[in-house]
Structure formats: C-alpha cells, structure tokens
Amino acid sequence: MELRITMSHISLLFVITIMTLMEAANSTSNDECDLFQGNWVLDQSYPLYNESTCPFLEKEFNCVNNGRPDRLYLKYRWKPHACNLSRFDGRNFLEKLRGKTIMFVGDSLSRNQWLSMLCMIHSSVPTANYAVNISVIQDMTTYTFTDYGLKVTYHHNLYLVDIVKRRFGRVLNLGSLTAGKMWLDVDYLVFNTWHWWNRRGASQPFDYIQDGSRIYKDMDRVVAFGKAIVTWGQWVDANIVQNKTKVFFQGISPSHYNGTDWGEPKAKSCSGQKIPLLSSTYPGASLPALTVLKKSLKTIKKLVTLLDVTTLSLLRKDGHPSAYGLGAIDCSHWCLAGVPDTWNVLLYNLMF
C-alpha cells in the first residue's frame, strides 16, 4: 500500500508539534512558578467571605464590626507573575481532607490564619455541621466538621521550643522541645513563630535564654530564633513520617509601624492606610528573621514547605486592624476578611 504525504499532512503535523511544545512549555512554567512573587490586583469578587456571617471570627480581627469605615482593603487578590492560583473551594477542601486533621501551631498570627481558614470553609459550605473542643491544659482548640470528620486545630505555642521553670526563673531553652507529642499523627501541620521573639520587659514570658549548657540573661533574638528553628527541624526529622504528614512553615508575617519603610515618612504606623503597595517589591529593608529562617530550614532533611508570605504581606500596609482591633493601634495582626485568606489560598494550592 502506497503512503502518500501531502502538504496538508505536513501542515497538520507542524501545528500539532507546535501545540505540544506550547503545552509542555506551559506545564514547565507552572511547575516552576513562584507563587510568592507577584502583585495585588483589585478583584470585585473579593472578599472570600462575609465577616458578619462567620461564626468563628473573634473581635480582635473583625475590623468591619469594630467600625473600620473603608472597604477597599477587602477587594485585593494576590496574582503571581507566572501562573494562576486556584480559587479556594471549601467543599473540595472538606472532601480531600475527609477524616484528616490540619493543625496550626504558633502564636496569635497562627490563630489569625486558623480563623481565616474556618471562615473560608464555612463560607463555601455554610450548612456543614461542626463541633468544638477546647483544651485549656494543652492550650488547643479544635473545630471538627462532623459530616466530613475533618479536624481544624489551633495549638497556641509562642516559641515552639520550651520555657522551663527553674528555681532562679523562667528559662527559654533553645535546645529543648517537648510540645511535639501533641503534633504527632497530624496529617497537615502549619507552624509559625517569630512574633514574640523581640518581646522585652513585662510582656516577655521568660527571664533567661539557654543555649546548649550555657544560660544567658539575654542574647541576639534573631540568632536565638534561628537556633530554635534548628531544634524544631530536628524534631521534624526524628518524628515526621513523610507519606503520612505534610509540614508547612508559615514564614515571617511583617508589621507596619514605620512609614519610612514603604515611602511615607510622615506615617508613624499603619493607621489610615487604605490601599496596598501595588508594585512587586517592598522598598524597605529585608527582614533578618526571614534570612535566618530560610538558612535554618535548610538543615532539615525531611520535606518542609515554606509558606513564604513575607513579601506579599509587606505590601499590605493597609491590611492591619490599626485602631479597629482591640483598641490599641495594631499593625502586626491582620483584619479578617483580609491578608491571611491569601495565605490560606496559597496553602490550599500547595497542599493539593
């Protein structure tokens, strides 16, 4: 049988080849996409939920209910440069995590993200039944979406490493971590610590810092933070079963107390800020804690995914409660709805 190849066949083969190469290029581009490099864009479909209908939201983060008059800060979506983020689908989240546990471990910024996640799930599936369990002894709160068997837990833990009471005072031990027994057998762990490392005076919950066998009255807090992350990483290597548990680190959530950092020297805080920086880069100095965190994470043998929220959050000078939180000017935490919803959209994309 004679095989005859015409120009039309060659043209068709050419088109198919080009399309295949384009698909491969797009696939490669998506695989290599940096979700954390991008910019904020207005999106009228935002926010992802109505704060007035979320039964989990606490007064501390409910800026609208606390009287914040502007609303534009609710309308921004994070857009990576090289690819698109899938929109959070609460029903899909519940189905994929049926019978599993996701736990947020850290300070009040972890609580910020945990409450955001609960509101996002509730907004997607408002009829989902849930039950709450609060353990004062463990400093842990769990909401269980009973129809799906999904537990969404927050474990309040300021430093991850231990504060030990000695006869001469409270000691922050950079090499000791005993809380990990509460993190075992969890399917998804999202850790965070940094917010409290620079606390001094009456609000500082320790009197000394122990590094190895030596005890100091004080030391460089960024260095201490890095040593604590190494200790936490050793716990991860010793205890995490990789085909069972996925581990994330929230990254460094920034504060906005100095307008000079974002090009407004007259601004003494985030108070009155109504729009984000719409560029892709923050004009202020980089955060030393982030550099130390990334270096410390490299010492870990098991897979830990960094939820690198620092740059995108630095751009959101408008996203803090300011005077619309618990009273004092708060430029550290975030309004809900708001920036932590984007952290959870990123987490959702990385989980699946």
List Cβ neighbours of 183 (8 Å cut-off, separation of 6 or more). Answer: 103, 105, 155, 189, 239
Residues noted as catalytic = 108, 330, 333
- Measure the CA–CA gap between 10 and 15, rounded to whole angstroms: 9
The helix (run of H) or strand (run of E) holding residue 104 is: strand 101-106
User: 108: closest CA among 217, 224, 196?
Assistant: 196
321, 63 contact by CB (below 8 A): yes
Beta pairing, strands 208-211 & 169-173 = parallel
d(CA 42, CA 96): 30
Q: Three-state SS for 179?
A: helix
In DSSP terms, which residues pair with 210 in a beta bridge? 173, 215
Q: Are 191 and 157 in contact (CB under 8 A)?
A: no
Taking Cα atoms as reference points, which of 107, 189, 115, 101 lies closest to residue 151?
101
Alpha helices in 2-77 (DSSP H): 7-31
Question: 253: number of CA atoms within 13 Å, CB side?
Answer: 26
User: Quick check: 47 and 87 in contact, CB under 8 A?
Assistant: no
Say how far apart CA 84 and CA 30 lie, in whole Å. Answer: 8
Residue 190, SS3 per DSSP: strand
The strand pair at 246-249 and 188-191 is best described as: parallel
Backbone angles phi, psi at 29, to 5 degrees: -60, -45
Give the containing element (helix H, strand E) for 247: strand 246-249
**What torsion do the CA atoms of 331, 342, 291, 173 make, to the nearest 10 degrees?**
70
